[in-house]
Chain A
Amino acid sequence: DAKTTQPPSMDCAEGRAANLPCNHSTISGNEYVYWYRQIHSQGPQYIIHGLKNNETNEMASLIITEDRKSSTLILPHATLRDTAVYYCIVRVLRTGNQFYFGTGTSLTVIP
């Protein structure tokens, strides 16, 4: 599976958009991009996923570049509760597969 690279930490002002980048330059055509986040003292939680097209749900938007070598998770109006570690994962869907979470990006939303 493709490896991902994320910045170790980022800050964002409350109410502003948080843009979290992820590089996955070795991604292959059948690999999906997933984003999870982990709030302190809890297990990781699914946010969003995509293959080629940009995606939006009630939590966030996912922008995938045309060559699919990078993506950006956007939290449109960050709140203090969005302070968490965000993981970008690329994964092929197949039986018995698994996620490699890596170390993620620690986002701090500042009041």
Chain B
Amino acid sequence: DVKVTQSSRYLVKRTGEKVFLECVQDMDHENMFWYRQDPGLGLRLIYFSYDVKMKEKGDIPEGYSVSREKKERFSLILESASTNQTSMYLCASSLEVGTGEKYEQYFGPGTRLTVT
């Protein structure tokens, strides 16, 4: 089974702190994604990466950065956490297209981040 793990299930940080959220997948997937989920807004894409050291902005990249130094690991960085970044953060991975039309994203369990 594909496994996507996230470093923490719950995290509490103070305003202005630098926050690292880590995501690791064990299936050699090319693509990795970071989403945030807020009530009434659904899942919104922050950043994604289709290869090591490659990244693309999603819908809401402001206030975030990412790092992908190894294929299996994708990090989300909040340079200076703010209270409006309190949210559930979900990481996902998928194979590259061309391996079949069943383009399935596999999600981690999520990290609930609270910024106080």
Binding site for B on A (CB under 8 A): 32, 34, 36, 41-46, 49, 51, 87, 91, 93-104
Contacts and interface: CB of A to CB of B under 8 A. Distances in A.
Interface of B: 4, 31, 33, 35, 40-45, 48, 50, 56, 58-59, 90, 92, 96-98, 101-110
A49 to B, nearest CB: 6
A34 B50 contact: no
Contacts of B31: 96
B102 A49 contact: yes
B45 A43 contact: no
Contact of B97 (A41, A42, A95): A95
Contacts of B42: 87, 101-104
Contacts, number: 65
A97 to B, nearest CB: 7
Given A43-B107, A99-B105, A100-B59, 13 more contacts: A36-B105, A43-B90, A44-B92, A46-B102, A46-B105, A87-B42, A93-B101, A96-B31, A96-B48, A97-B103, A98-B56, A101-B43, A102-B43
Contact of B104 (A46, A101, A102): A46
Nearest to A34: B103
- Residue among A43, A93, A94, A97 with most chain B CB within 10 A: A43
Contacts of A97: 97, 103
Contact of B40 (A93, A98, A103): A103
